[in-house]
Amino acid sequence: MKPGAASRQAVCRPIPPQAAWIPVFRPALPTAERLAPFLAIIDQTRQYSNYGGLVGRFAKRLSETLGLGADGVRPAVSGTLALLGAILASAGRASPDRPLALCPAHTFVATANAAEMAGYQPYFVDVDVNSWLFEPAMARNHPALDRVGLVLAVAPYGQGVEQAAWAAFSRDTGIPVVIDGAATFERLAAFPGELVGQVPVALSLHATKTFSTGEGGAVVCADRGLLDRATAALNFGFNGERISSMPGTNGKMSEYHAAVGLAALEAWPETQAAFDKAAYTYRRQAEAAGCGDRVVTAPRIASCYTLYHARDAVEAAAVENALHAARIEYRHWYGPGLHLEPAFRSAPRDELPNTEQLGRCLIGLPMAPDLSTQEIFRIVAALDAGLRGISGHDEEGNNG
Ligand SMILES: *Cc1c(COP(=O)(O)O)cnc(C)c1O
């Protein structure tokens, strides 16, 4: 929907014609200089993959960083493959009598991709409009439960998903649960007691996440046996010997990506401080502009995201037009809902009103560890311009 007056007014705001676009995310991974010592190790050992020394070191250090001791983490080639490894290790492949995987529709497509790779038919469920989560109580009462072989709980935008209620659900129903905690690196490190346990969590270490190895992922779990099975699943099902003993694929992290991960862990305190500063500046400027209650930053969500939570579709469109006019990139990180993606159109699903509302109203704003005060000023000014373009909004917006 194109709001006529609102968009024209936004376009009329004075914007320097030569202003460079601000990208929605501007990752900063370790420099060549910081990588060099780790790459030199690879030159010496000439081990490039197959769970070599650097992957082992990275797994241990990541596990310690998350407060899980030495062996709570198994690296993977991506977050999507970490999900697949966790699924195969906990639920195995889909069975004919339980072919369905309950999957919230407000997530990134990878959640459903991983379920399909393990043979499950995704069944899309809605999320709570306030928590943005598919909650354990919603799963317990689901009418299709006797045909469900897997539940995917998603931690949207890096919010934590608590273990206790999902572990109880799994115990009571016998249905395995896997948490897509792609962007939860910071939350896991802050609350390992609540967020890590028997239910496996898949992390993404993709470049658009707060902590990254370029491409990468990890399975995080307190159950050592499950972690061993995930490791085997991501190595052709090989369990120690070259005998394929369970469903598997190649989802191993390479030594090169582990090198990036080790250098990124060394730089993590600086990275974290830089993201904190950007989030703080966003919050302060949004409050000054009267839209502090609509701009969502860390620590509620992961530092790689800043979201504008529009009240409705009209406000979302006005804000989007103003951002575009000011040459500011934005993104609906999870799209309109997985049920509206062509690949998943035919999947069974519930009514999804909250998914559709959140898909329209949660607008990803630019974020970067080095996002400058100047850039944030430009972004918040564009939000303000968009909001002023909606009649009657002014008085309302300034109350926040
Ligand atoms: C990033 C992300 C993934 C995919 O991770 P990759 O590392 O890109 O495979 C999956 N689920 C969610 C919710 C994500 O945000």
pLDDT at 390 (0 to 100) = 87
- Residue 18: is its pLDDT beyond 80? no
Domain that holds residue 351: 5-26+268-396
Contact, 207 vs 72, CB < 8 A?
no
- What is the value of pTM for the model shown? 0.93
CB atoms < 10 A from the CB of 284, how many? Answer: 14
Ligand 1 atom nearest residue 80's Cα? 9
Task: Label residue 392 by pLDDT band (50, 70, 90).
Answer: low
User: Closest by alpha carbon to 78, among 48, 104, 111, 102?
Assistant: 111
Query: 78 CB less than 6 Å from ligand 1?
Result: yes
Contact, 299 vs 186, CB < 8 A?
yes
Radius of gyration of the chain (CA): 22
Would you say how long the chain is, in residues?
Answer: 400
CATH, residue 304: 3.90.1150.10
Same domain (yes/no): 163, 55 = yes
Catalytic residues: 209
Mean pLDDT of 86-104: 98
Q: Which of 228, 244, 263 is at the close of a domain?
A: 263
Span 135-156, pLDDT tens digits: 999 999 999 999 999 999 999 9
Same domain (yes/no): 104, 176 = yes
Query: Which of 108, 117, 179 has most ligand 1 atoms within 8 Å of its beta carbon, as the pocket-test mutant?
Result: 108
Q: How far is the CA of 209 from the centre of ligand 1 (A)?
A: 8
Query: 204 CB less than 6 Å from ligand 1?
Result: yes
Q: How far is the CA of 183 from the centre of ligand 1 (A)?
A: 7
C-alpha–C-alpha distance, residues 107 and 202, integer Å: 14
Same domain (yes/no): 113, 225 = yes
Same domain (yes/no): 221, 258 = yes
Query: 107 CB less than 6 Å from ligand 1?
Result: yes
Same domain (yes/no): 103, 197 = yes
Same domain (yes/no): 55, 200 = yes
CB burial of 163-179 (b: ≥16 within 10 Å; e: otherwise) equals bebbeebbeeeebbbbb
Residue 229 in tokens: 């099975």
Q: Which of 212, 242, 263 is at the close of a domain?
A: 263
Q: How many structural domains does the chain have? A: 2
Span 188-236, pLDDT tens digits: 999 999 999 999 999 999 999 999 999 999 999 999 999 999 999 999 9
